[in-house]
């Protein structure tokens, strides 16, 4: 092999079968449809939860204000979780993908850092709102129990919250943090390649 190996010619020798155009279009349309269904489903969940709040607030089932506040907090926790889970808060909507590699990497890094902060905040918010809401909801029913019964119910509840707060929450946050940290680190390394010289 001589030193003037023609890389361009070698490169151009790679040919691949283009997928059938109709198949590609079918795939594209399927993608469009799936996205639409996902969006509709998410909105349905949100509307349903909102209706649930209205129902709790206006029905006569709950007599005490604490129960109503509790229900609202629980629903709020769920809604926040659903929204965050669907990456609606910090999505990639502002990144078109058609900017230069350098700009793209910088945008991606900014979004990922924001995402890291958001996810931790959302997780904390979720794990605060949910138990507080439940605790408030329980009050009305605990009042009707015997004292030992109420003590037992609240002890179990506190234990459950402690398990959530001290075990589940740190685990979830750590898992997400590790994933994002790893990604941010790799993007940073690639970004550095463009700054190096």
Query: Rule CB under 8 A: which residues touch another protein?
Result: 1, 3, 5, 7-8, 10-21, 23-24, 27-28, 31, 96-105, 108, 183, 186-187, 190, 193-194, 197
**Minimum CB separation from another protein for residue 110, in Å?**
15
Compare residues 14 and 94 and give the one whose CB is closer to another protein. Answer: 14
Minimum distance from residue 116 beta carbon to another protein (Å):
14
**CA 39 remoteness from chain centre:** 14
What distance lies between CA 145 and its chain's CA centroid?
Answer: 38
CB of 2 to another protein, least distance (A): 9
* Separation of alpha carbons 50 and 55, rounded Å: 9
CB of 97 to another protein, least distance (A): 5
Which residue from 133, 152, 147, 148 is spatially nearest to 62, judged by alpha carbons?
Answer: 133
Helix then strand count (H, E) for the chain reads 6, 0
Instruction: Specify burial of residue 96 (Cβ count, 10 A radius: 0-12, 13-18, 19+).
Output: exposed
- Residue 62 or 183 with smaller CB distance to another protein: 183
Nearer to another protein, 143 or 186 (CB): 186
Minimum distance from CB of 19 to another protein (Å)? 4
Q: How far apart are CA 126 and CA 81, in angstroms?
A: 7
With beta carbons less than 8 A apart as the criterion, state whether 84 and 118 touch.
yes
- The residue among 18 and 63 lying less far from another protein, judged by its C-beta, is 18
Q: Which is nearer to another protein, 150 or 183 (CB)?
A: 183
CB-count exposure of residue 192 (10 Å: 0-12, 13-18, 19+): exposed
């Amino acid at each position: 092999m001589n030193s003037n190996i023609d890389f361009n010619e070698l490169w151009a020798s790679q040919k691949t079968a283009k997928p059938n155009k109709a198949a590609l279009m079918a795939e594209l349309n399927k993608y469009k449809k799936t996205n639409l269904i996902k969006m509709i489903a998410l909105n349905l969940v949100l509307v349903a939860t909102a209706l649930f709040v209205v129902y709790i607030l206006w029905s006569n089932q709950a007599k005490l204000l604490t129960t109503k506040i509790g229900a609202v907090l629980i629903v709020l926790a769920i809604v926040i979780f659903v929204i965050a889970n669907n990456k609606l808060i910090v999505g990639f909507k502002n990144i078109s993908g058609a900017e230069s590699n350098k700009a793209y990497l910088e945008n991606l890094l900014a979004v990922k850092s924001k995402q890291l902060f958001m996810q931790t905040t959302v997780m904390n918010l979720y794990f605060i709102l949910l138990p507080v809401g439940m605790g408030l909801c329980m009050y009305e029913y605990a009042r009707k129990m015997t004292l030992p019964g109420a003590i037992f119910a609240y002890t179990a509840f506190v234990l459950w919250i402690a398990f959530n707060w001290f075990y589940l929450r740190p685990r979830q946050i750590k898992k997400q943090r590790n994933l994002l940290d790893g990604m941010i680190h790799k993007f940073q390394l690639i970004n550095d390649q463009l700054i190096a010289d």
